[in-house]
Every structure is written in structure tokens, then in C-alpha cells.
Amino acid sequence: MTAEVFETFERAEPHNIEAEQSILGGLLIGQARHVDEAAAIVQPGDFYRPGHRDVFETILGLHRDGERADPVTVLDRLTKNGGASGVDGAYLHTLMSTVPTPENITYYARIVKGLAVKRNLIAVGSQVVRFGYSGDPDDVDELVGEAVRKLTEQDASDDEAAPVGEGMIATLDWLESGKGSDGRVPLPYRDLDKLLGGLKPGQMAIIGARPAVGKSVVALDVARHVAVKAGLPVYLASLEMSKHELNLRLLAAEAKVNLHTLQDEEEEVTSAQWDRLNPAFARISESPLFIDDEPNVTVDRLRAQLRRMARRATGPARLVVVDYLQLMRSPNGGRRTPENRQVEVSEMSRNLKLLAREFGVPVVVLSQLNRGVEMRADKRPQISDLRESGSLEQDADVVILLHRDDDPETGRPGEMDLIVGKNRNGPTGTVSVAFQGHYARAADMAKVDSSITKRL
């Protein structure tokens, strides 16, 4: 088997010289539109012969300058740029004689593009082999993620921008069918769900708060509601708490049993509490909630886990929750100086947004707020308080900031404000919920908050 593998790699790389010559010959005798047709499919690097790459790049340059590409103009430009290996005036005329008409250029271009993708796959395969022989054994998920990313970068499609009318038909169908759910994920709090219209596929939502305000409570409420109540697959990456801690919180929230009772080894669970715990345990156990408590999570690991999850009987994840952003590892695994930490967090934020788009799933990311909020007279958080924000504000589709004031004299004990500071596709506003910390949950208030405001 090993000998066969090496024999395969020793073969000539896939290529088709005739197809490359036909593209170039067609462009030399064709019109400007033929250059546009070819450029929409192939790039200079897709050509196998270096001389062909130079000729194609020269033709593109002439086209950009508004000049006609023919043997004279191409040879003149090539000469000024240092020439091309094996290409002279006679060869350019040979190219013109190889193709009777330029009308089949797109066909030839697809052949060249497909073979270029195959060559790239061979190169990536060689890199994957090197990954298998190198790296720390503990970084297997990152190595797999890197390999998958390199493979998915190979794009053999020749999709082009479509007329707006084509997409408008699908939009009209969606409106006529009653708008539908469009893959949206419901939220556990009635007013918040109404304000945001649920979470939409491809969105990144950030939940920000200072420590001990309730970020994990809200995140677990969202995950529990989607998985247990709605029955949709959820992937929860917890970098801060173990599965055991999360399980206790899930049971306390679902059964409405005091979390301290479940955590304290000396406090016994009463029979009445067991009557609530047992059915709650069954509901949670049967739900499609997947918990990953690996502390060294990277975006590459998330990608690999989501691909594995998609192969399960439950189907692909409909929601991803990450608790929390500042604990995530950089893709390169290296340590950065505090001054560069913002760059690192911004990079992870952007990658999480791309992950949401790639898998067509909403991603909820928890984030710390900086200490500036505690130094102001008004303690209500603002989007600018996001810690090491960088591109967080830009990448996020939704930003929800949490605020609690339990001062019995000046505050509102037992209440939590969910401040929607950004909603890319809709209104912003504030929603109040009842914070039930002893149950590790929050719940709807009896009265609808009148502070919801709409913006154009």
C-alpha cells in the first residue's frame, strides 16, 4: 500500500495543455466579453505552464487598460515585463491557430479550473500527511480543523453574481407563504423573542456582562430552551464550567430546585424535590443538547465538532453557544502580549462570525465587559464596554448587555435587564426578566416591558 501511495505522488500532476492553449488562442482572436467570461472562472495561477500564466495575466492587464489583446500587443507587454518562458511571436500565432472560435472559452476554462483544483488538492493532501507526522498529540482537533479548512478552501465552482430578480422571486415566495420560521431559533424570554424575532441562521449574538451578573445563566437558559423545549440540536462549548457543574445547573433550572441544595454535599434532597428532579432529568437526558467542556477550545475545534455532530442521528446543530470568548485560545496557540490581545480577540470574533455563516447556524458568544462600567455613575453597560472589543461590535449581528441592580433602596432586586444595544436587522430596546439565581435561571416578567423602542 505504501508503494502505491508513493507511486501515485510520483505521477505528473493533472493538466491539459490543449485546453490552456485553447483559452489563450480564443482570447487572442475573441472580443472583450470573452476575456470577462474566462476571468470569471480561471485565474493566472490556474494554468499549469508558467508561460501560459504570464500570457493570461498579460491579456487581463491589457483588458483592464482598455486595450485590445492580439499577438503584437501581448508580445510587446510581455517584453516590457521581462518576457515569458517559451513564448514568442510564433508561439502566440500558434495559439491562435489551435482554436477555430472563442465561443467555447467557458468550456475550456472549466477544464483548466477543475484540473487546477485537483493539483491544489494534491498539494493539500501532502500538507495533511505532514500534519499527521507532526504536531503535539494534544492538538489533534486543531490539526483536523486546519486540514478541513485547507480542503474547503479549494473551490471549483464558477458561480457568478446573479440578477437581483432571481433572488427576489425566492423572497416573494417567502412573503407569500407567511414568512415562515426561516430556520430561526426561539428564545426563552417572550419579550426578547418578540423583539429579536428569534435568532437567525448565520447570526452571531454577543451576550456581555461583568462577572457574576448572569451571563452563564442566560446562556444556559437559551441552550435549555432550544434543546429541551424546542427539541433542536444545540452545541454548548463551556470553557469555564465542567459538565458536572452544568448538569447541576440544568437540573436546578428545569426542576426549579434550589441549586445550593444540589451542590451542598451535606444538604439532603427532599422527596418533593425528587418528584420534580426525576421528570426534569428525563427531559434533559432525552434532549439533543451536546456539551463540550474542553477548556482549550479554538475555532478549529468548534468546526471539527460541528462536522461530527452533523453526522449524528440528531442532525446538525441548530444553535452554538460559547461560554466565553475571552477564555478561547488563539488559532495559532501562541501567547500574545496584553497590547496585542485585542487583535487576538478580534480575530476569534471574526472567525466565529465566519463559522456561523459557514454552518448556517446562530452562534451565541458570551463576553466579559471591562471595568469602565463600574467607574461610571450610571452602571448600565454600553456596547463600548465590551472587553477587548476590537471588531466585536462590527462582527456581531446582535449585542445583548446584562444589568442587575439588587440594591433594596435604589435598585430593582430580583430583576435583570437585557439591553439589546445592537440588532442589525431590527429594533433595539430593553427587556426585563425575573432573575432567579437560586434556580440558576431567569424567567419572564408578568408585565411586558414598555421600554422597547423601534428604530428605522
In this structure, the answer to whether residues 145 and 278 fall within a common structural domain is no
Last residue of a domain, one of 122, 152, 182: 152
CATH of the domain at 422: 3.40.50.300
Q: Does residue 163 form part of some domain?
A: no
Residue given cell 507526522 in the structure block: 133
CATH of the domain at 69: 1.10.860.10
Domain that holds residue 405: 190-444
C-alpha cell at 140: 489533534
Q: What is the mean pLDDT of residues 444-448?
A: 62
Q: For residue 300, give every residue at least 6 positions away whose Cβ sits within 8 Å of its Cβ, in sequence order, or none.
A: 141, 142, 144, 145, 146, 149, 331
What's the rounded Cα separation, in Å, for the pair 287 and 283? 6
Q: What is the mean pLDDT of residues 311-327?
A: 85
Q: Buried b vs exposed e over 283-304: b needs ≥16 C-beta within 10 Å?
A: bbeebbbbbbbeeebbbbbbbb
Helix 32-39 and helix 17-29, axial crossing angle in degrees, nearest 10: 150
Q: Pick the most confident of 85-89, 326-330, 346-350, 422-426.
A: 422-426
pLDDT at 210: 84
Q: What is the mean pLDDT of residues 329-348?
A: 62
Q: Does residue 161 form part of some domain?
A: no
Q: What is the mean pLDDT of residues 150-176?
A: 62
pLDDT at 60 over 60: yes
CA dihedral 125, 128, 133, 134 (to 10 degrees): 140
Last residue of a domain, one of 152, 173, 199: 152
pLDDT at 453 over 60: no
User: What would the pLDDT profile of 373-432 be if each residue is shown by its tens digit?
Assistant: 777 777 788 877 776 655 777 888 999 999 888 777 777 888 899 999 889 888 889 999
Last residue of a domain, one of 130, 152, 174: 152
In this structure, the answer to whether residues 271 and 402 fall within a common structural domain is yes
In this structure, the answer to whether residues 356 and 433 fall within a common structural domain is yes
In this structure, the answer to whether residues 197 and 142 fall within a common structural domain is no
pLDDT at 83: 73
In this structure, the answer to whether residues 364 and 277 fall within a common structural domain is yes
> For the chain, what's the residue count?
456
User: What would the pLDDT profile of 251-285 be if each residue is shown by its tens digit?
Assistant: 899 989 888 888 887 788 888 989 988 998 899 88
C-alpha cell at 27: 482570447
User: What would the pLDDT profile of 6-19 be if each residue is shown by its tens digit?
Assistant: 444 557 788 999 99
Residue given cell 487576538 in the structure block: 344
pLDDT at 450: 41
pLDDT at 222: 94
pLDDT at 182: 66
Residue 105's nearest CA partner among 24, 8, 9 is 24
Q: Does residue 449 form part of some domain?
A: no
Q: Does residue 453 form part of some domain?
A: no
- Number of domain units in the chain: 2
In this structure, the answer to whether residues 355 and 419 fall within a common structural domain is yes
Beta strands in 170-270 (DSSP E): 204-209, 234-238
pLDDT at 435 over 50: yes
pLDDT at 292: 86
What's the rounded Cα separation, in Å, for the pair 453 and 456? 10
pLDDT at 370: 78
Q: Does residue 174 form part of some domain?
A: no
Q: For residue 436, give every residue at least 6 positions away whose Cβ sits within 8 Å of its Cβ, in sequence order, or none.
A: 414, 442, 443
In this structure, the answer to whether residues 140 and 239 fall within a common structural domain is no
Q: How confident is the model at residue 449 (pLDDT cuts 50, 70, 90)?
A: very low
In this structure, the answer to whether residues 74 and 127 fall within a common structural domain is yes
Q: What is the mean pLDDT of residues 167-181?
A: 64
Check if the beta carbon of residue 222 is closer than 8 Å to that of residue 196: no
pLDDT at 88 over 90: no
pLDDT at 191 over 70: yes
| CB atoms near residue 121 (< 10 Å) | 16
Regarding beta strands 363-368 and 415-423, do their DSSP bridges make them parallel or antiparallel, or are they unpaired?
A: unpaired
C-alpha cell at 171: 423572497
pLDDT at 455 over 70: no
CA 213 from chain centre, in angstroms, equals: 27
Residue 386's nearest CA partner among 200, 165, 205 is 205
In this structure, the answer to whether residues 197 and 98 fall within a common structural domain is no
What does DSSP assign to residue 124?
Answer: H
Query: Higher model confidence: residue 206 or residue 66?
Result: 206
pLDDT at 21 over 70: yes
What's the rounded Cα separation, in Å, for the pair 135 and 115? 31
Residue 226's nearest CA partner among 264, 181, 270 is 181
Percentage of the chain modeled with pLDDT above 90: 18
Lowest mean pLDDT among 208-222, 260-274, 295-309: 295-309
pLDDT at 350 over 60: yes
Query: Higher model confidence: residue 200 or residue 394?
Result: 200
Percentage of the chain modeled with pLDDT above 70: 80
- How many Cα atoms within 13 Å fall on the side-chain side of residue 297? 29
Q: Does residue 225 form part of some domain?
A: yes
Q: How confident is the model at residue 145 (pLDDT cuts 50, 70, 90)?
A: low
What's the rounded Cα separation, in Å, for the pair 436 and 18? 72
Give me Rg for the CA atoms of the chain.
29
Check if the beta carbon of residue 350 is closer than 8 Å to that of residue 265: no
Q: Does residue 35 form part of some domain?
A: yes
Q: Does residue 176 form part of some domain?
A: no
In this structure, the answer to whether residues 327 and 375 fall within a common structural domain is yes
In this structure, the answer to whether residues 233 and 145 fall within a common structural domain is no
| CB atoms near residue 82 (< 10 Å) | 7
pLDDT at 341 over 80: no
Q: For residue 150, give every residue at least 6 positions away whose Cβ sits within 8 Å of its Cβ, in sequence order, or none.
A: 124, 127, 128
Lay out the sheet containing 363-368: strands in order across: 289-292, 234-238, 319-323, 363-368, 204-209, 398-403, 415-423, 429-436, 441-444
pLDDT at 13: 87
In this structure, the answer to whether residues 93 and 147 fall within a common structural domain is yes
Beta strands in 210-263 (DSSP E): 234-238
Mean per-residue pLDDT over the chain, rounded: 81
Q: How confident is the model at residue 32 (pLDDT cuts 50, 70, 90)?
A: confident
pTM above 0.75, yes or no: no
**How close are the terminal C-alpha atoms of the chain, in Å?**
65
Q: Which residues pair with 434 in a beta bridge?
A: 415, 443
